[in-house]
Structure 1
C-alpha cells in the first residue's frame, strides 16, 4: 500500500512574515512602535537629521516599513519615500495612514534581503528593528549597498534584545509574574506571540544578540565605509517613557540600543 508523506515548504522567513502579519493588528497601539506625542516625533526627526540631513527631495527607501512610522518621519523631512514590507496587513495600514494624512508615499511588497529594486536607486536607506530578524544579514547588507547611489547613506536603528542587563532581567521577571497573577484576559494570545517571538529569535543570525560591533563588522564586509555608531537614544527614550509602564521603561532604558549610519563610497 502506498503512503503519502507530507512535507512543509515553510522556512524561517515564512515564520517571520507570518508573525509580523499577525502583529500588524496591534502594532500602532504599542508605545515604541507608533509615535504618541509631538515631543517624540521631534526627537526622531532630530536623530534622522543628525545622520541623514534634510531630505531636499532625495530618494529614501524605508525597509520593513511596517505601518510606515519611519516612512512618515522621512516624508516630514522632504524625502521622496518608498516603504517596503513583506507583510500585506502591515502595508494595508501603511497605505491607510498615508491616505489619512494626504501624503504621497510609495509602498511596495518586498523582501528586505532581496528587494528586486534596480542598482543605484536610492540616496538613503533606513530600517528600524529589522536587523535582529535577518536570516542572512551579510547578504542583506550587500543588497542595500547595491541599491544605494554612490555617496548614499544607510541608517539602521536596532538593538540587542537578547542580552539585557541585570535591571532589565529583573524587570522582565516581575512583569511576567504580574501578567500571570492579574492579567489573564490577555494572557493566552500574548503568551503565544511571546513564544513565537522567542522561537524566531533563537534561530536568526543574531540569536546571540545584535551587538553594534557585530553589525558594523558585517557592514564593512559588505562594502560600507564611514560607519558611525550612535548610542545616544536618550531624547527618544525620555519622550516614550510616559507611555510605558515603570518596568517596561526600565527595561528599555537599560537595553543596548543604537543607530548605525554607514555610507557607500562616492566612487561606488
Structure 2
C-alpha cells in the first residue's frame, strides 16, 4: 500500500512524463489520426455508444493535444477538454485555433476537477484509466459531473499482459526491423523515456494490467449502471495499420483494447 505522499509523488511524475511527451505526441500512430478512414472509424465508435452531439456538453478528460476533443466536435458536441499538462494544453489550443474550432481547454485534475455537479451530458477519456493512482476516487468525480442519464465512455487497454501470440509477433517485427527486412514503423514513444514509462506503470493502480472487467466492476461499485464492455475495435485497428507496419499492426490488434460505456442513473 502506498502512502499519500508516495501517491502525490507518483502523480507528479506522471504529469512531468506527459508534459515531456507533448512535443512529439502527435507524431505517434495511435495518438493523432492520420487518415480519414481512421477518423470515420472513431466517429462510428463514438456515435455507437454516445449518439450524435446535437450541441450536448462533452468533457474530454486528459485531453492531451485534443485528438478526441476534435472527434467529439466533429459530431456536434460542445467540448471542454481538461489536462494537467500545460504543455499538452498549449498544443491543443493551437490545434483548435489552426482548424477554426471553438473548444475550451483548461488545466485540471481528473480526480478533482472543480466542475459543477451534473454539468455534462457525456464524459470521454482515452488511455487515461491505466495511469490512475486512485481510480475509484476518479470515477466518483466523473459520476458527479455527469447529468442524470449521462454517459461515460472509456477507451483504454491492458498494456501489461501480452498474449503468447502478441509476444511472438512483436519479436518477429523486432527481428525483421533489426536486419532491415521490413521498414521500421514510427516509434510510439522516445526510447529514452522507456524507463520512466516502465517505472510509472509499475506503481499505478492497474500495474498488473487494466482489464476491462476490473474497470467495469469499479464503475458499478461507484454507482454507474448499466456498464457495458465493447472489445470490437477492429475498424480502428485496421485503419491504423498502415502507420504501424504489418506486424506491429497485427500485434496491436491482439492486445486487450476496449471501450467501456457507463451510465449515470436517472433520478427516481
TM score, norm. by length of structure 1: 0.91
Please name the residue that 1:26 is paired with: 24
Please name the residue that 1:137 is paired with: 135
* 1:103-118 correspondence to structure 2 within 5 Å: 103-118=101-116
Structure 1 residues 20-76: Cα deviation after superposition (integer angstroms, max 9, x where no partner): 011111111111000001111000000000000010111000000000000000001
Please name the residue that 1:213 is paired with: 213
Structure 1, unaligned runs of 5 or more: 1-6
Please name the residue that 2:267 is paired with: 267
Please name the residue that 1:41 is paired with: 39
CA-CA distance at 1:251 after TM superposition: 1.6
TM score, norm. by length of structure 2: 0.91
CA distance in 1, matches of 2:129, 2:173: 26
CA distance in 2, matches of 1:12, 1:48: 31
Closer, same or farther: CA 221–247 of 1 in aligned 2, 3 Å: same
SS at match of 1:92: helix
Structure 2, unaligned runs of 5 or more: none
Please name the residue that 1:125 is paired with: 123
Contact 2:79 2:103 in 1 (8 A): yes
Q: Is the radius of gyration larger for structure 1 or structure 2?
A: 1
Please name the residue that 1:146 is paired with: 144
Contact 2:7 2:133 in 1 (8 A): no
Contact 1:125 1:155 in 2 (8 A): yes
SS at match of 1:12: helix
Match among 154, 158, 167 for residue 156 of structure 2: 158
SS at match of 1:60: strand
CA distance in 1, matches of 2:35, 2:267: 41
SS at match of 2:102: coil
Say which is worse superposed, 240-249 or 87-96, in terms of deviation: 240-249
Please name the residue that 1:52 is paired with: 50
Contact 1:167 1:250 in 2 (8 A): no
Number of aligned residues: 259
CA distance in 2, matches of 1:23, 1:242: 23
Match among 61, 64, 67 for residue 63 of structure 1: 61
CA distance in 1, matches of 2:174, 2:85: 29
- RMSD over aligned CA atoms reads 2.2
Contact 1:122 1:148 in 2 (8 A): yes
CA-CA distance at 1:172 after TM superposition: 3.4
Please name the residue that 1:3 is paired with: none
Displaced runs of 4 or more, over 4 A: 7-10, 174-183
Please name the residue that 2:167 is paired with: 169
